[in-house]
Amino acid sequence: MITGAQKSTVDQIWNTFWNGGVSNTLTIVEQLTYLIFLRDLDETETRNSMRQRYQKEFVYTPIFGEGDQDLRWSRLKEMNPTDRFDIFNDSKEGVFPFIRTLGSEKSLFGQYMKDASFAITKATVLDTVMSLLENLDMNDQDTKGDIYEYLLSKLEGGGTAGQFRTPRHIIKMMVAMMAPRVDDRICDPSCGSAGFLVAAKEYVDKHNDATVVTQEDTARHIATDLLHGTEYDATMLRIASMNLYLHGIQEPDIVNVDAVSKENTPSDCYSLILANPPFKGSIDKTTIDTSLTNVCSTAKTELLFLALMLRQLKDGGRCATIVPDGVLFGSSKAHKSIRKEIVENHKLEAVISMPSGVFKPYAGVSTAILVFTKTGTGGTDKVWFYDMTADGKSLDDKRNLLIDEALFSDFELVYKVSAEVQKDLHEKSNIADLVRRFHSLPQADSEEFGRARTAQSFMVPVEEIVENDWDLSINRYKEIVYEEIAYDAPNVIIDRIDDLDAERSQLLNELKEMLR
């Protein structure tokens, strides 16, 4: 886990950028990604060189040629700030032309760096940032990942064109619900910074014995075939790849493609999909893959992504995805057809309504989580609804933490405190309760099957959903209990007012007597 001192150093780096005139959060993360990448290249070169010195049979292709030695992090950090800045700014033989020419045989990220550019405008800013990065201990793999995750947390919520970075605690909640297995093939078709994929790997690492994940075949699967993603934004492509790399995925499979376009062809190949696709409205229908419009004829991305997920899942594959509330009750033909497809032809398991403040302060959009399994033969019997009202943070623009940070970061710890403390925590965060109840659903004696519609979670038979035109909004099925309030009769209230008025007159007369 990242320490307070490490967080403080990252915060100092962030403030250095801001004070130096770089205020765009995505630009800051991108520039830091380049610097971390450059530092890692140098460390890799040093390790390989040392290994070759002691293992003559070890052969590797140097990353830095004879004329590139001044571009190594270890050389750059010792330079005069002005000279160093000039090398970074050199558009012909500097750092960035070198990064852009790295091929896949030299660097796992060469293919993602072709559009890399330098955006730091002051030598003093570069000098301070490099000094702070140099003092940041990133030798341990887990620490590297934690530091980068903390850096990416500063992007949370912000986005354009309907893209909102998913808060990490919501990602971890969804991953815990789906409980990824070591033999899964997991995909996020709109991976952004790869938050879902990283959390999935962390879950697999945490819930499997080290002897299992380090077995040759399993380790190879984890490194090359466990995690998959698509992303069409070049900046996020680089950030996602770096995020996975720093979390131990040496060959991240992040494909540069518009997920709902004709160029994205995979189908029937993933066992688990975790996603928060963009809600950006409509796109050009001519670019959409017809396999998606055959399911629901629309140009709305939030509907097309659901069709895409169904196509990409193999039979028995599971999905947990965030959708805007409109998907649940929209009355258009496309809205109804995608809901009907999931409920009638596959198995819809759960609809989780989230509080509208989850994406604040950047957006107040109301969202839900759909959980379903691809069957192709139906299977929806009862659908579990959960009304999530608290997520551990205030639901205003400030999003202040309401519970202990340790419990917020690892909600499984909630199960280790007393029932009384759990009850108090539940008022501020429903996450632990939600995950526990979801995992109880496969049990025939789960209490969820007998809960009243007035409870926070309950079951709804598929027949009722069909009768309601495939409506999946929780308010359609939740029963609200109104508390009866008894009021005094009007004549009793009038008598009480008369008494108060008489008392007031008496006190006023007494005051007048005192003043005479």
Kindly state whether residue 371 falls inside one of the protein's structural domains. Answer: no
State residue 28 phi and psi, 5-degree precision.
-60, -50
Q: List the structure tokens of 473.
A: 């909004």
What does the pLDDT read at residue 274? Answer: 98
Kindly state whether residue 156 falls inside one of the protein's structural domains. Answer: no
Domain total of the chain: 1
State whether the Cα torsion 54-58-60-65 is positive or negative.
positive
Are the C-beta atoms of 259 and 275 separated by less than 8 Å?
A: no
Are the C-beta atoms of 264 and 289 separated by less than 8 Å?
A: yes
Domain of 117 in residue numbering reads as: 4-150
Rounded Cα distance, 347 and 342, in Å: 7
What does the pLDDT read at residue 159? Answer: 45
374: number of Cβ within 10 Å: 25
Contacts of residue 511, Cβ cutoff 8 Å, sequence gap at least 6: none
Rounded Cα distance, 184 and 228, in Å: 11
DSSP structural state of residue 157: T
Contacts of residue 120, Cβ cutoff 8 Å, sequence gap at least 6: 17, 20, 22, 31, 88, 126, 129
**Residue type for position 218:** T
Task: Please count the residues of the chain.
Answer: 516
Rounded Cα distance, 295 and 209, in Å: 41
Kindly state whether residue 123 falls inside one of the protein's structural domains. Answer: yes
DSSP string, 14-44: HHHHHHTT---HHHHHHHHHHHHHHHHHHHH
Rounded Cα distance, 157 and 356, in Å: 13
Show the low-confidence residues of the chain (pLDDT under 50): 105-108, 157-163
Q: What is the CATH number of the domain that holds 13?
A: 1.20.1260
Kindly state whether residue 294 falls inside one of the protein's structural domains. Answer: no
pTM for this model (two decimals): 0.83
Rounded Cα distance, 384 and 404, in Å: 29
Kindly state whether residue 105 falls inside one of the protein's structural domains. Answer: yes
What does the pLDDT read at residue 109? Answer: 60
Instruction: Name the packing angle between helices 333-345 and 301-312 (round to 10°).
Output: 20
118: number of Cβ within 10 Å: 17
Contacts of residue 346, Cβ cutoff 8 Å, sequence gap at least 6: 310, 372, 373, 374, 375, 376, 378, 379, 380
Kindly state whether residue 115 falls inside one of the protein's structural domains. Answer: yes
State whether the Cα torsion 245-249-251-256 is positive or negative.
negative
Half-sphere CA count of 347, side-chain side, radius 13 A: 13
Kindly state whether residue 95 falls inside one of the protein's structural domains. Answer: yes
